[in-house]
Structure 1
């Protein structure tokens, strides 16, 4: 460790370049992780707040909520606790603002009823509780929302947090409002049932219905799995790139220091001691780089506008940081072989 630290202090510029490259890789990796979590959360955050165990939909809907239509008593008495949902897409606007949204008709006093963060719960027809995205866009409590393609309007009575479905903000209303906005298509019907019953797998439903556990339902949301896999592969490639880069840098530096290693070997310094020095150098460089990259990431996240979805899961960040350090160490191992091959007689001349 002593030799490794002294060499780092002596060759500040060379090793600063390695740290700089690792910082950029770590910075990009942590940002991608945060943005990936943010994007994924936008698809599922409303479903997570429902805290249900499963979703009941029709077989022919291909797990598409809007395409699933069934009788409102289709699963009556089958599960311990169910909450029906009606769903339709709307374009809500005021004189100077417009927002695409999904309107969800829900029954009051069910477990999927939204928790109001500001204002009050809807009571009458055509009153809605809106996702806080509307508040961020400048909509206010009491605003009248005109709906494209209909003469009806909605009144915002309150706002709720974490109410997005498939990245679209939700407007919660009562079932009568949803019936009117779907032109009666959902009269005495529902799109789906959210189930809160840990034994849902033991329940047999009609042949034209299917019971899907919540996580499986989320994975089938349009674009959810594709986005996640794309961002995950970007992270994996960054790990490989970091190992490759640190390996090249340390290998070049090792070759340049061959005469020094030859002199140290001539004085009786063992290969294992010199190899440990390389490992310690890599460890110090990678740890410093991870700390700086994490600090830059948090600073960037602080200044990002609310419209940019970024969420950090610290357990995942810790795993990424540890993996980045390990891949850097693996890259540094290639230089150890070069140290072992140094011949003191040839290097000294």
Structure 2
């Protein structure tokens, strides 16, 4: 470390430029990672947070939850193999509504569930509805940006029904639309179902073991059982959106490795004579290797600290409507990857130092 610090002091501008490039690359990786996680939550947080292990859907639905249709009879067939307490039907419907006193249309997703069961959301403001209330719903807090408040009324454009918002949840969205939770009584009213007609659901969520999930898929005709990751990939645009962003992040890591490798290799070539002299006076290859790795890691750590501070600073001024979520585990994961990539990028320089012949290097210096 002593040799590395002396060299930093001697060539400030050179290492400043290397560090600046690393800061920019690390900042871009962190920002895109936060954007990817933010978009993922904005697209599927209601499913990600759901207290379920598996989802039973219609076999022909192609893993799309909103394409599936399950009847009450089918739900009873499923409950023969899984306890009713661990089986929760769920209705999903994309909708458009207007708030009272305004003609502005707002997109949302209705989620219908047993509000006393495992799929009941956490209410952060106001109160929760029960299974018998009428014309009352619980909405995601993001709708406050559209001017909705507790006690406010919204009108569903498809059914014409008016609902009162009695509570707000946090971080509940589906397909980039805020989720509005209702009970099955209102779900039937929205679909104008007569009392003698079976109710239709989209999904049966399961809190059960893998063996029971496979048994249901095998024994109940016309259904497929998928896990949460498969359900997320079935949300329109989710897989394509995340795949594109993950590819960008991967390329940024590759670019970072190449940048470090090229910079340090060029600097190593420029210092071959000095390394040769050090070897001639007894410096071991391992000592010189530790010097190079110390330089790389020190530059990387300083660059990461600056880029993390810069990213959180930019995130602080971003509008609330922009889906951005940079969590500490995500920052630690990206930082760890950067350290690994930095060490990999220094391997070319380490190889060159190991091959230096002291006598030949001193001869060139003379």
TM-score by length of 1: 0.90
Cα offsets for 1:277-303 (capped at 9, x unmatched) = 222211211121122222222222222
Q: Which residue of 2 aligns with 1:51?
A: 51
C-alpha distance in 1 between matches for 2:89 and 2:284: 73
| Residues 1:284 and 2:289 are matched in the alignment | no
Deviation at 1:53, TM superposition (A): 2.0
What SS class does the counterpart of residue 260 from structure 2 fall into? helix
Deviation at 1:271, TM superposition (A): 4.3
The 5 A counterparts of 1:66-215 are 66-76=66-76, 77-78=79-80, 79-80=82-83, 81=85, 82-94=87-99, 95=102, 97-122=104-129, 124-184=133-193, 188-198=199-209, 199-203=212-216, 204-215=218-229
Task: After the TM superposition, list the runs of 4 or more consecutive aligned residues in structure 1 that deviate by more than 6 angstroms.
Answer: none
- Partners of 1:262 and 1:344 within 8 A in 2: yes
RMSD (Å) for aligned C-alpha atoms: 2.4
The verdict on how the C-alpha distance between 1:85 and 1:344 changes in structure 2, with shifts beyond 3 A counting, is: closer
| Residues 1:296 and 2:310 are matched in the alignment | yes
Cα offsets for 1:116-173 (capped at 9, x unmatched) = 2111223532221101111233211122213334533222111111211222211112
The verdict on how the C-alpha distance between 1:306 and 1:101 changes in structure 2, with shifts beyond 3 A counting, is: same
The verdict on how the C-alpha distance between 1:126 and 1:323 changes in structure 2, with shifts beyond 3 A counting, is: same
Deviation at 1:263, TM superposition (A): 4.4
| Residues 1:61 and 2:57 are matched in the alignment | no
The verdict on how the C-alpha distance between 1:285 and 1:49 changes in structure 2, with shifts beyond 3 A counting, is: closer
Gap runs ≥5 in structure 1: none
C-alpha distance in 2 between matches for 1:347 and 1:41: 60
The verdict on how the C-alpha distance between 1:284 and 1:146 changes in structure 2, with shifts beyond 3 A counting, is: same
C-alpha distance in 1 between matches for 2:287 and 2:201: 72
C-alpha distance in 1 between matches for 2:278 and 2:222: 78
Q: Which residue of 1 aligns with 2:25?
A: 25
C-alpha distance in 2 between matches for 1:246 and 1:209: 52
C-alpha distance in 2 between matches for 1:336 and 1:54: 50
C-alpha distance in 2 between matches for 1:49 and 1:331: 38
What SS class does the counterpart of residue 205 from structure 2 fall into? strand
Q: Which residue of 1 aligns with 2:364?
A: 347
- Partners of 1:247 and 1:333 within 8 A in 2: yes
Cα offsets for 1:222-244 (capped at 9, x unmatched) = 22222222222212211111111
C-alpha distance in 2 between matches for 1:109 and 1:273: 65
C-alpha distance in 1 between matches for 2:286 and 2:55: 60
The verdict on how the C-alpha distance between 1:150 and 1:333 changes in structure 2, with shifts beyond 3 A counting, is: same
What SS class does the counterpart of residue 293 from structure 1 fall into? helix
Deviation at 1:112, TM superposition (A): 1.2
What SS class does the counterpart of residue 75 from structure 1 fall into? helix
Deviation at 1:20, TM superposition (A): 0.8
For these two proteins, the number of residue pairs brought into alignment is: 349
C-alpha distance in 1 between matches for 2:115 and 2:266: 68
C-alpha distance in 2 between matches for 1:251 and 1:179: 69
